Structure 1
Amino acid sequence: MKWWIQLGCFLTGWNREILLQCSEASFKYLKKYTAALLILIVLWGFTGFCFAQRYVHAPLWGCVLSSVIFIVIVIQIERQIILTVGTSKSIFFFRFFIAVIMAVLGSSILDQVIFGEDIKRKMVEITDRQVVELLPSRLKVIDNKLNELQLNIDSLESKTAMLNEEIAKNPVIKAITTTTQYKNVLQEDGTYKKIPETTVSSVLVANPRTKQVEMNNLNLSRLREQQDEFVQRKMGVEDSLRKELSTNIGFLEELRAMLEIILTRTEAMIFYIIIFLFLISLELFVVAGKLGDKKCDYELIVEHQLNVKIAALNELVKNVYLTKKNV
């Protein structure tokens, strides 16, 4: 059996042993299903790779793994149609519903890749709008912090000024010190007794408020450093906000930009519709072939085997019932 037929049996799930008993018509059906699956495999493999690379930012092996997952899902979905014995309108309707969903997802991802440069230009416009919306709230937070720092600085400067005035009036102050010494005094009975003698003296020392002024000056320096930091932040808040918005662009942001492009530009809308119709046509390749063509002898053999098995099981059940009845 040729490798193409083996590949087709692997992808579609057909039994090679049964296929060998069939005519050339069944081989042609298999080749047709295989060709349709290969088209979908290439399409969704590329879509899965681009999605992982562009939005998940996965490494090369992650992109390949994503591509394989997409391919496996597509093959399993198509097998639901190819391996259906007989006809089932419900499963065909459900496949059409899935085809529409997959076409929307596929066209969205592919269009974001195709419209990449247009989306970048649109994102600049969207970023400008977001900056205008978010900038006042960012500035308000910084202004509130600057006002709080200025209040603390004014309060501390006022206290420091009062302390400096007090120090200027009294740079030194008298400090009273007392010392107590014990002196042995001879008593009448000839014994000695320790009698305390207290000495009071006064010395001039620097005003202790000076240390408080030094601590206040250190705190003022820290507050002014924080104030300068927030002033610098306020000056660069627009650039930092724009950079933040530009670096955090995800799938939904680009989808929003693409929708704006499609809704505002007629040529983009026409191209999107063409891509969507192309994808949904590819998705319905197998369904259209299954509904439009007559059954091949492979499907007739499988259906015959099913009918024979059902008849045998019914006969077995009937014999078992009659045996129990006779007993």
Structure 2
Amino acid sequence: MSPWVKFGCFITGWNRNILANCTEASHKALKKFTSSMLILILLWAFTGYCFADRYVGLQWWGCIIVAFVFVIIVVQIERQIILTVGKNRGVGVLRVFLAVIMAILGSTIIDQIIFGDDVDKEMIDIRTEEVNRIAPARQIVIQAEIDRLSFAIDSLDKVNMQLNEEIAQRPTIMTVQSVTTEVPVVQKDGSIVKEKSNSITRTPIENPRLKQVISNEKNLEYMRKLLDEYNNKKLNVAAELKKELEAKTGFLEELKALVRIMSKSSIALGFYILLFSFLLFLELLVVMSKFGDKPCDYDLIVQHQLAVKEESIRDLVKRV
């Protein structure tokens, strides 16, 4: 058995032992299924890798893992058709609907990659519209902070002016300190008695309001610096908002840009329809191969084994 046939059995889920006793018709059917699935595997591996790289922002090894997951999903979906015993119309109809969904998803992702430059140009207009929509609300919030800081600065400035006027009138203040001491006094009878004596000391000191002024000046310096920052934010709110929007590219944003491109250009819309049709027909290759052709001897053998097994079970039930 050739490596290609072994690979085909591995991908499709066919039993190699049964296939070994089949004719060339079954080998051709296997090769046909394998070729169809290999096309889908390569296509969805590329789609999964590009999706993870562009929108999820993973490293190359993470993109490979995502591509591998996409491949596993595609293989398992196609096996639902290939491994169906006989012709199950319900499964076929379900696969057609699934093929339409997968074609839409695949063509959308691939189109966003192919039209990457056009999407980027359209994204400029979309982000400009977003900036014009969001910026006024953000400016209102910033302006509220500016008004609050301006009011606080004006209030503290008035307080400092009053304090400076008071300091100018009284640069120093006198502190009074009373000290009580015991002085020995000799009495007439020669005895010594200690009497208390109070002494008052007056000392000029710096007006304590000056420390309050210095503390207020530090607060004013901090608030003025903060006010300058808010004024700069207000002036640059559009530029900062644009940077935030450009920092992360969203799938839905680019999808919106792609829809706008197709609504403006009939050529882009025609190319999308062409790519969608191509992917849809690729998705339906396995379905058409399974339900369009006559059953090969591999299918007949599987059906025969199933019929024999069913007959033996019926006989067993009758005996019981």
How is 1:1-327 mapped onto 2 (pairs within 5 angstroms)? 1-186=1-186, 192-320=192-320
CA distance in 1, matches of 2:196, 2:251: 91
* CA deviation after TM superposition for structure 1 residue 233, in Å: 2.1
Q: Distance in 1 between matches of 2:33 and 2:190?
A: 133
State the AA in 1 paired with 2:175: A
Matched residue SS, 2:195: strand
1:189 Cα offset (Å): 7.5
**Superposed CA offset, 1:30-80 (max 9, x none):** 111111111101111111111111111111111111111111111111011
Q: Please report how far the alpha carbon of residue 115 of structure 1 lies from its aligned counterpart in structure 2 after TM superposition.
A: 0.7
The alpha carbon displacement at 1:318 in A equals 0.6
Q: Deviations over 1:94-153 (max 9, x none)?
A: 111211111111111101101100000000000110111111112112111111111111
Q: 2:193 & 2:54 partners in 1: Cα distance?
A: 99
- Cα distance in 2 for partners of 1:162, 1:273 equals 78
Distance 2:287 2:279 in 1: 14
Gap runs ≥5 in structure 1 = 321-327
Find the aligned partners of 1:189 and 1:304 in 2 and give their Cα distance: 147
Code of the aligned partner of 2:184: N
> For the structure 1 residues 5 and 202, does the alpha-carbon distance in structure 2 shift closer, same or farther, using more than 3 Å as the test?
same
Mapped to 2, the partners of 1:192 and 1:258 lie a distance apart of: 111
Q: CA deviation at 1:190?
A: 6.2
| 2: CA distance, partners of 1:278 / 1:192 | 126
What secondary structure does 1:96 align onto?
Answer: helix
Give the paired residue count: 320
CA distance in 1, matches of 2:198, 2:6: 117
CA distance in 2, matches of 1:189, 1:267: 131
> Structure 2: which amino acid aligns with 1:123?
M
TM-score (normalised: structure 2): 0.96
What is the alpha-carbon distance in structure 1 between the residues aligned to residue 270 and residue 104 of structure 2? Answer: 15
Matched residue type, 1:153? I
Root-mean-square deviation over aligned CA pairs:
1.4
